[in-house]
Structure 1
Amino acid sequence: MGVHILSTGSSVPNFSVENQQFEDIIETSDHWISTRTGIKKRHLATSSISLTKLAAEAATKALNQANINPEDLDLIILATSTPDDLFGSASQLQAEIGATKSTAFDITAACSGFIIALVTASQFIKSGSYNTILVVGADTMSRWIDWSDRTTCILFGDGAGAVVVGKSSVNSILGFKLCTDGRLNSHLQLMNSPLTSQKFGSTAVPKGKYDYIKMNGKEVYKFAVFQVPAVIKTCLNDLNLSIDEVDWFILHQANTRILEAIANRLSIPFSKMITNLENYGNTSAASIPLALDEAIKDNKIQPGQIVVLSGFGAGLTWGAIVLRWH
């Protein structure tokens, strides 16, 4: 049983913020941000735009591209760390697009979320459990940012990307590898930090409240630059493929310096890296499917080409998927 990526779609909010606009609220400049991150602007979801709405727009585009009716979906997997509902938003997405016959659930793995969700979908198809699956990566990280923290507030944007995958005799997903190291969790986290509690006798029961994103940039950089090339090489070695046989690399869009360092470690020209950081910033689980959708629309990726997807982020988690595009 093969797994075929039938279509892609993406969505970002209309409202965008350019680097110069940060100069009025924090000590920074367009030059400082762009030279250190590669980011020029990012799109932010206003109060009228929910995570579910962004995800639904990307999903609808992917479904229309594949000429698939939402009622024909067997499963929806939503990769997000910023759901509208703490219990999960996949069911809301199911209702929003009218996929009344599908099962739906969330996967929370931050910037690695889409990779893990796509692997999960592929396993359901290979086992014969489901035939047609919608995978969406979507995040509204702007709602969890401390806008006075210049180390994080300049990095993140909001968006959604989607793919529809189905069973086929032609297999698109050649191989994958997923990794986790919870010992490094403190380097990138968004913690539950209760400030108040209800007392029952002498026992305090905390009231849930999440803090802002906290990141140790230096440690995340070292982690990504070391682990991502290693997991990519492992995937390719398992498939008896060389780095030179890969036509395109689509990595999590975190920071241009990270992507450049990974390209150097892999000994590949940076021109093989598909990037859109300049226009969107770090959109977490949305970054890989958003970049993939743009690359398909721009006709960069051609049938038969080998494409490597790789995500890395909070957890700390990381992983890679090797595709042959059909």
Structure 2
Amino acid sequence: MSGRAAVLAGLGGWLPPTRITNDDLARQLDTTDEWITTRTGIRQRFVVPPGLSTSDVAVEAGARALASAGTDSVDLLVLATSTPDHPCPATAPEVASRLGLGEIPAFDVAAVCTGFVYALATASSMIRAGIADSALVIGADTFSTILDPEDRTTRAIFGDGAGATVLRAGRMGESGALLGFDLASDGSQADLITVPGGGSEHRSKGLAAPGDEFFTMQGRSVFRNAVTRMSESSRRLAEQLGWPLESIDRLVAHQANIRILTAVGNELGLPEEKLVVNLDRVGNTVAASIPLALADAVHTGQVAPGHRVLLCGFGGGLTWGAAALELPEVSVEPLPGPAAPAESACAK
């Protein structure tokens, strides 16, 4: 392979300072640590306190990715989020401004849990086309702000956070080059994962009802689709690249729940040690899930330079997709946690 490519140059992630354990939830809802852990694999999650929003977590992760890349400027910012600060305008321009990136093009991509893969493909395409020479791609969500406080299932699953990557222009044969993508959607099943209210449809048709502002999903159908679609997309991309499945060193899949991750690994014939898992410590962070898991795994050494890495996601829409690269040398800070909350990188 040859030609211009987008190359991974930096990684960063950030978690808000408020930690909620399963025992904390058990004191508020009809649930237990055992019930949550056996069904999801999740033991804790982090949520934004009052006063913090998606732009705040995005700025923190973006600043860390820029520091990892050793730069303070990029030509483009793409923010994957389904919980923007406002319905209008997009959140990305504010994030770019607060990071001191100047008047660069900045826009949001909304593909829920597949959002980061879609955003990565978008930025990669713009770099390959010569529209930009570098890009900051952020996945950030604050789903705690759209959950029904009485719903034990969704509150157990979702956490807030942000993960980010810096891409630079390079060559396709270079270490860290994004080698390919597989993207797809199926709008006929949009009702499986949704927030009914807040948009134009229910208002214009007079359909708004109490609770429409909360996130809902049909768990069993989502499970089946997630396993099938992430497996199919990963397999297609591996075939496109000429990668035998057994040659994949690490699979960084959307951290939905442990049963989905295990099932996808089984479908692809990948042993447990090749699956990157950090949902036990952070929960399902939606668009932040894949970059957070990748940054965490690189920091701990689970993903190492030269590893063939497949990223795959599945989310509302329905949307799904995969991306592939061989990891370059990259330095990543540890994810901040409640014992050492990061100071704000950039004030509003």
The TM-score range, normalised by the shorter chain, is: over 0.9
Give ranges in structure 1 of 5+ residues lacking alignment.
none
Secondary structure at the aligned position of 2:220 is classed as helix
Q: How much has 1:96 moved relative to structure 2?
A: 1.0
State the alpha-carbon separation in 1 of the partners of residues 119 and 285 from structure 2: 16
Greater alpha carbon shift after TM alignment, 169-178 vs 281-290: 169-178
Residue 165 of structure 2 corresponds to 163
Alignment of 1:110-189 (within 5 A): 110-169=112-171, 170=174, 172-189=177-194
TM-score by length of 2: 0.88
- In the alignment, which residue of structure 2 is the partner of 1:14? 17
1:83 corresponds to:
84
Q: Give yes or no for contact 2:16–2:46 (8 Å, CA) kept in 1.
A: yes
Give yes or no for the alignment of 1:252 onto 2:254. yes
Q: Once structures 1 and 2 are overlaid, which stretch shifts more, 167-176 or 135-144?
A: 167-176
Deviation, structure 1 residue 101? 3.4
> SS of the residue aligned with 2:304?
coil
CA deviation string 1:140-171 (max 9, x = no partner): 00000012112212110000000000101226
Aligned partner of 1:265: which letter? E
Partners of 2:180 and 2:126 in 1: CA distance: 15
Q: Find the aligned partners of 1:217 and 1:6 in 2 and give their Cα distance.
A: 37
In structure 2, the partner of 1:47 is: 50
Deviation at 1:208, TM superposition (A): 11
Give the match's secondary structure for 2:265: helix
What is the CA distance between 1:296 and its match in structure 2?
A: 1.4
- SS of 2:144 mapped into structure 1: helix
Question: Secondary structure at 2:313's aligned position in 1?
Answer: strand
The number of equivalent residue pairs is 318
SS in 1 for 2:153: coil
Out of 300, 321, 324, the residue aligned to residue 323 of structure 2 is: 321
Letter in 1 for 2:190: N
Give yes or no for contact 2:257–2:279 (8 Å, CA) kept in 1.
yes
CA distance in structure 2 between the aligned counterparts of 1:25 and 1:124, rounded to whole angstroms? 47
- Superposition pairs of residues 66-105 of structure 1, within 5 angstroms: 66-69=69-72, 72-87=73-88, 88-105=90-107
Distance 1:52 1:204 in 2: 31
Q: Find the counterpart in structure 2 of residue 106 from structure 1.
A: 108
Q: Give the TM-score normalised by structure 1.
A: 0.93
After superposition, the Cα gap between the structure-2 partners of 1:267 and 1:26, relative to the gap in structure 1 and judged at 3 Å, is: same
CA distance in 2, matches of 1:23, 1:251: 28
Cα RMSD between the aligned structures?
1.9
Structure 1 residue 24, shift from structure 2 partner: 2.3
Match of 2:296 among 278, 286, 294: 294
* Residue of structure 1 in register with 2:312 after alignment: 310
CA drift of 1:299 comes to: 2.1
Match of 1:65 in 2: 68
Deviates more, 1:141-150 or 1:209-218: 209-218
Task: Give every structure 1 segment of 4 or more consecutive aligned residues whose post-TM-superposition deviation is greater than 4 Å.
Answer: 203-210
Kindly provide the CA deviation profile for residues 169-193 of structure 1, in whole angstroms up to 9, marking residues without a partner as x: 2261111100100111111111126
Aligned identity (percent) is 37
Counterpart for residue 336 of structure 2: none
Shift of residue 207 of structure 1? 8.4
Partner Cα separation in structure 1 for residue 301 and residue 228 of structure 2: 31
Does the CA contact (< 8 Å) of 1:74 and 1:101 recur in 2? no
